Amino acid sequence: MAQSEPLEDDVGSQQHRYMRMAIEQARKSPPKPTNFCVGALLVDEAGPAGAILASGYTLELPGNTHAEQCCFQKIAQAHGIPEDQIGNVIPATTVLYTTMEPCVERLSGNLPCLERVLRITKGGGQVIRKVYTGVKEPSKFVNENNCEARLKAAGIEQIHVTGFEDAILAVATAGHEKQGP
């Protein structure tokens, strides 16, 4: 039997707590056959417990938005600044939790989420230094996602939070046609 939740002794970990919260965000995404339902959180890793700066889910905001994009846009709107300047207002200890690794290509023509992460800088340095992911992006829409290599090249660590793969993929593919028997 496939495991869809971490073992009981792992339940208390912060990583698992935030990934469960990201999955709850993903469940709010309207299911469509043309996108994945993804949830994301921006968290101040050095802040007090529960220091969530922003949350988001696929299609939460107008314009074919992705979960990470919604987080960034909410921070920008709250501070009255362009999205590419949020690095100036979020803590240097901000991390990203996302149920699916950030996309590297947008078929809609929107800026890919990986590019959005990479442009969050302050004084020329990356602000987001860690990205926690639940699953790699399936190749349904984009054949190869080289997100992990590009994050690493930028000095950003990608950490896979294990134990949620089945639950994440079940939510992510809601609204997709089922393949096979």
Which residue numbers are catalytic? 68
* Neighbouring residues of 65: CB distance < 8 A, sequence distance ≥ 6: 56, 58, 59, 73, 110
Backbone angles phi, psi at 145, to 5 degrees: -105, 110
Residue 99: closest CA among 153, 154, 35: 35
Please name the helix (run of DSSP H) or strand (run of DSSP E) that holds residue 94, with its range, or none. Answer: strand 94-100
CB 38 within 8 A of CB 100: yes
The strand pair at 130-135 and 121-122 is best described as unpaired
CB 40 within 8 A of CB 70: yes
> CA–CA separation, 101 vs 139, rounded Å?
12
∠ CA 79-83-84, nearest 5°, is 120
